[in-house]
Structure formats: structure tokens, C-alpha cells
Structure 1
Amino acid sequence: MKKTYYLFNPGRMSRKDNTLKFTPVDENGAEGPSKYIPVEGVSDLYCFGALDANSALYNFLGKNQIAVHFFDYYEHYTGSFMPKDYLLAGKMQIEQTKHYISASKRLVLAKKFVEGAAFNILKNLRYYNTRGKDLMFHIEKIENYYKQINEQKDIETLMGLEGNIRQVYYNAFDIILNDFEMGGRSKQPPHNEVNALISFGNMMCYTLCLSQIYHTQLNPTISFLHEPGYRRYSLALDLSEIFKPILVDRTIFKVVNKKEIQHTDFDVHLNGVLLKESGKKTFVKVFEEKLSETIKHRSLKRNVSYKHLIKLECYKLTKHILGMEEYKPFKAWW
């Protein structure tokens, strides 16, 4: 089974037969021992350090359908190398564009994304409310917002409602988390450790959704909740709204409350807080473990991984756009 590889150190990558050769290089230019990765076992690469590679390597990666995602020093997603779109179909592209252009069709899908996100947020809150955390105020407030989703008449007011749900939800983090305080959402840069974890996790979820969209006929630049923009794959933003509570937030709750990540895993600067390499590695390890977990799918009647759930979500969206079946967002049932 193909897997994701994370490159935390700067280094040099090249092709050696059907193997990827990665040689880490430290800040003084000294090379470390090379690591060899069989290309058939790679789904994509996440590069958190500078990667030195030539066009021959990217040709090799493209032929093997391997995406490369790049992040800067401040953990911001900066872009991706995506192989040639091998599944894009003309009919799908036309219908997806029609659903964006039509205000009514777009609003239907946008509401579904917010509905799925809010449902999964409530699932998290109810879980912790039954485990000694008093979250009834937050639950009732979001339940009230949840009932208003279908009443929204346009994308702008819907996004405002979604923002209200997120604000109440993030206010609950100070109750759920032990030993850390959030004190409101801040980003670019994050102002404290919890915000740094959220920003890092959301970025991971976004790129994961992008990778799964790539393996379907959907065009990642045509979205419905978020406004399509230049140089960003906004459909991945739409899908990630549904999965952030399940994949990102549950990972944060686990690594913090089980003390797998502590205050020493962060770099605190005057202009913000970042995860150190130790913190990134811990988060990625738990995040990957989450993606590999399987659950019994109600419709398919078989076990599927969390990672595969995102691809299934893409297939459901495809069927809706093609008029085959109404889209129903993923809602955690456990």
C-alpha cells in the first residue's frame, strides 16, 4: 500500500533506478546518510525543508503519479507539484462549472459542507461533554446555529454563520485541553501553541484533501463554499471543513491531553509560535495513525480507512454534480 513520506530536513533528492534517493544536508552543507525509498510505495511527499532536485526527478515523479507538497519555514503551505491531470473529464468539468455558476446549485452544496462540518464539531463536543468537560453552553449554541444553516439565502451569510460556529467551537478548546490555553483563534502567525497546532493540522488536512481530489474527475480549483481564487485549490478547502474536526482536532486533543506534545515542542518568537521538528514529527505520527484507522462503513458494509473516506466523499460529490445521486456530507456516527 502506498504511503505518504514527510521530509523534515533540507536535502537533495535524485532518482536511482526505480528508487528515490534522499540525502539530508545540514546548514553547513554537510551531507548525512542517504535514504532510499522505493517509488512504487510512495503516494506523495511533504517537504518541510528545502528540497534540491532537478527536472529529471520531477519527470520521474510525474510519471509515477507522485505529488510533492511544499511548506515554508513558518509552516505555510506554499504550493504543490501535481502530476498531469490524468482523470479530468470534459463532461465533469462542464457540470462542475455549471454548479458553481448557478447561485442556487452552488448554495445547495455550500450548505452541505457547513452542515457536515457543524455535525462533526458537535460530535466532538458531545464526546467530551460526557467525559467530565462541561460543554453544554457551547453545544446548545452551535445546535441553534445548525438549525439556521438551511435558512441562509446566499454564500456570504452562510460563511458568516459558519464563522460563528467555529468561534463558539474554538472557545470550547480551553475547556477540552489540559495545560494549554487557546484564547481565541489566531493565524499567520499563530500567537500561541494551540493555534500553532490548529494551523499545522489544518494545512495537513487541506493537502490531504487535495491529494484525494486529484485521484478523481473533480477539478480542485472549482469550489462552492469558498470562493475560487488564483493559485489555490479551493475545493480542497471545502472538503477539509468536513474532516478537520475528525482528523485535525481529535489529533490535537490526543497529543495535548496525553502529553505527547508539550511546551518544549514549540518555538516562541516575538511575532508568533511555531512547532519545532520534534512537535511536527509527533503530530504527523499520530495524524498518520488516525488516517490508517478503519471503521465499518454503513453503506459499503466493509472496513475503510479515514483516508479513504475523503476519496469516497469526492465520489459522492461527483455523483451529485453529474445528477446521479444527491450529495450527503460525511457525518461521524461513532
Structure 2
Amino acid sequence: MRKLLNTVYILQEQAYLTLDGENLVCKIDGETKLRIPFENVENIVCFNYLGCSPALMGKCVSKTIPINFISPQGKFLAKVCGETKGNVFLRVQQIDKFRAEGLLLTQNTMAAKFSNCRQLIRRTLHDNAELREDEDIQKVLEVLKEGIDKVYEAKSIEEVVGIEGLCAKNYFSIFNKLITNKKVDFEFQLRTKHPPLDPVNALLSFVYTLATNEVAAALETVGLDSYIGYCHTLRSGRSSLACDLVEEIRCIVERFVITLLNLKIVGEKDFEQKISGAVWLNEDGRRKVLSKWQEKKRSTMTHPYLKQKIPRGLLPYVQSNLLAKYVRGEISTYPSFLLK
């Protein structure tokens, strides 16, 4: 059990939540592990299988404390809550805030994305001295640095998106050099999405999808509408706000993919090519990636804003919570995630 920003996260899959007077109680195998007074709780997010007692659900409904049930893999399952008027007001505030501050939010998000890309490249250079003088890599580092300045000079969201497209093209032009294990079975040429046309693109697309779904689930737990974004245009069936927030954490996905390839955790036999030319992970490949992604989510990191150690799997929930606080006016600025 972790408590961050007045939200309680139940991470132990065999935990069971119950009620004891005015306290939330967490039990594992019948033994009480922790109790928290309800007055200190605003939201509960459960990643456990066993759930919670009906008495606790009734208490939370009476106190308008939502209980969110998420699968251990990060898929949103259900929410137990009382009256929904709070979420209605929050969503109205969300629309108003994004209309008024959409450009600034987009600028901050893209600046954070470029900074995080630079950090990812620098990490590779730190571990591989032979790449430190590579002219192409140094050029991309400079393009990304200039991109951070340019987004804040932009006068519209469309202009920022155009700068992002140019930076992304340059970034992926040297992505193959970050795959430093020369025994990897395949190479990355350029980013292809719909559909992915090589194994590296297939990996990127698959894990981007996992991350986006996890962010969408996190947004649901704080009452924000994941379909109303500030950067990505509205499109029926697309979680635009989840796509916005994923931009900040794409670096984690990309570092994860690079690690899978450099350690040869996945190989040529884990992919299949369709008649159309699309390349997808096969069943064994998906199983490997999902297993390693779950391991990654259990590893810890120090959150740059909270200055606390958290499991990486909680990062989407922390960022969603911070965004909700910004929308409600509880904090003056939404702190985009910056890789340290």
C-alpha cells in the first residue's frame, strides 16, 4: 500500500481492503498490514485481485471517495463511487482550462519530451564511449535542444506540433545507433506506425499502446476525461488526453525497447510478418514483452516533483493526479515529467 497526494494505491495483488470504524484497513492473508483514517484519503486505486468488503464500499460512497479497480496489468476495470457531480464539475473545469491554457500545456509537454529524449541519448553515450563523437548523434542533441527553445516561441498548438514532428524525425534517424548490440537480428530504418513494418517498430508500437492504456486508466481514476486533450485533436474513440500525457513518458518506453533488443530478450522468432507487409509480435513475443514490462513497472524511481521513491508503474497515476490538481486550481502549474 502506498499513499501519494492523498490517493491510496494497493499494489499487493493478494491484499484485501476492509472497514474498521473510521479507518481503511489493508489485510494480507488475514493479517492487518496498515490502517489509514478516512479523513486522510481522497481516492483509492486497487491493483489487487481480492477487492474490498461491501461495508468499505458503502463507507466510501457515503464519503464520496471513489474506489478504482485496475487489473495488475494496468487495465481499467470499474469504479465504485457516490454522486458524480464532482466529476462533472471537474470535467467542465478540464475543458475550460485546456481551452485557456492549451498552448502552454502543449509547450511544456513537448519541451519535457525533447529533454527526456536528450537524456535517453546521453545515457547511451555514457555507456558507449565510441558513440560520444558521432556527428549525427551530436546534431540530433542540438536539434532537440533548439526544439525546446522553439516550442516556447510558437504562437499556436499547430506550430508546436510541427516542431515536434521535425524533432521526432531527427531523433528516430539515429535511433538504430542506440541499439548497440551488433548481434541484434534486425535494424531500425525509420518510424512506421500504421502498420509497423519491421520488428523494432512493432515493439515500439506495442509498448506505446500499453503505456497509453495505462495512462487512460490513470486518468479515469482521478475523474478526468481521457478523450478530451489539450494537444492531440479530438477524435472519436481516441483517448486524446492519454496520448498527450504519454508524450512525457515515451522515453521510458523507448529505453525499455532498446534494453530488450540490446540484451536480446526478444529476437527474430518473436515476430511474424503479414501478407500486407505489417510486422507484429507473435504470441510468444507478446508474452515476453508483457512479462518484462511488468518487471519494469515494479522497479522503483524517484519522482522529480514529489521527491519520493515510487514504483514506475505508478508514474501515470501520479502525473494524472497532478494534472487533476492543476485543473482544479490546487497547484498553479502542471509539472510535466522530466527524466533525471
One fold, TM greater than 0.5? yes
Residue 99 of structure 2 is matched in structure 1 by 101
Runs of 4+ off more than 6 Å: none
| Secondary structure of 1:267's aligned partner | strand
Residue by residue over 1:34-84, the C-alpha shift from the partner in whole angstroms, topping out at 9 and shown as x without a partner, is: xxxx83279xxxxxxxxxxxxxxxxxxxx985468xxxxxxxxxxx87535
Residue 123 of structure 1 is matched in structure 2 by 119
Using a 3 Å threshold, how does the CA distance of structure 1 residues 84 and 292 change in structure 2: closer, same or farther?
closer
CA distance in 1, matches of 2:319, 2:76: 23
- Say if 1:85 and 1:214, in contact at 8 Å, map to a contact too: no
Residue 295 of structure 1 is matched in structure 2 by 301
| Secondary structure of 1:167's aligned partner | helix
The correspondence of residues 1-334 of structure 1 with structure 2, limited to 5 A, is 1-2=10-11, 39-40=49-50, 65-66=68-69, 83=78, 86=81, 89-102=87-100, 105-130=101-126, 131-132=128-129, 133=131, 134=134, 135-177=137-179, 178=181, 179=184, 180-246=186-252, 248-271=253-276, 272-325=278-331, 326-333=333-340
CA distance in 1, matches of 2:68, 2:218: 12
CA distance in 2, matches of 1:279, 1:157: 38
Give the deviation of 1:176 after TM superposition: 0.9
Q: What residue identity is the alignment partner of 1:294?
A: T
- Say if 1:93 and 1:218, in contact at 8 Å, map to a contact too: yes
Q: What residue identity is the alignment partner of 1:83?
A: A
Give the deviation of 1:287 after TM superposition: 1.4
- Say if 2:219 and 2:225, in contact at 8 Å, map to a contact too: yes
- Say if 1:39 and 1:64, in contact at 8 Å, map to a contact too: no
| Secondary structure of 1:200's aligned partner | helix
- Say if 1:138 and 1:169, in contact at 8 Å, map to a contact too: yes
| Higher alpha-carbon deviation: 117-126 or 175-184 | 175-184
Consecutive unaligned residues in structure 2, runs of 5 or more: 1-9, 14-47, 53-65
TM-score by length of 2: 0.72
CA distance in 1, matches of 2:222, 2:146: 35
Residue by residue over 1:286-314, the C-alpha shift from the partner in whole angstroms, topping out at 9 and shown as x without a partner, is: 21111111123455443211122221111
| Secondary structure of 1:189's aligned partner | coil
Using a 3 Å threshold, how does the CA distance of structure 1 residues 332 and 217 change in structure 2: closer, same or farther?
same
- Say if 2:304 and 2:337, in contact at 8 Å, map to a contact too: no
Identity %: 24
Using a 3 Å threshold, how does the CA distance of structure 1 residues 328 and 66 change in structure 2: closer, same or farther?
closer
TM-score by length of 1: 0.73
Q: What residue identity is the alignment partner of 1:329?
A: S
CA RMSD between the two structures: 2.7
Using a 3 Å threshold, how does the CA distance of structure 1 residues 64 and 321 change in structure 2: closer, same or farther?
closer
Q: What residue identity is the alignment partner of 1:173?
A: F
| Higher alpha-carbon deviation: 161-170 or 315-324 | 315-324
Give the deviation of 1:116 after TM superposition: 1.6
Consecutive unaligned residues in structure 1, runs of 5 or more: 5-37, 43-62, 69-79
CA distance in 2, matches of 1:299, 1:157: 28
CA distance in 2, matches of 1:234, 1:259: 33
Give the deviation of 1:254 after TM superposition: 0.6
Using a 3 Å threshold, how does the CA distance of structure 1 residues 3 and 187 change in structure 2: closer, same or farther?
farther
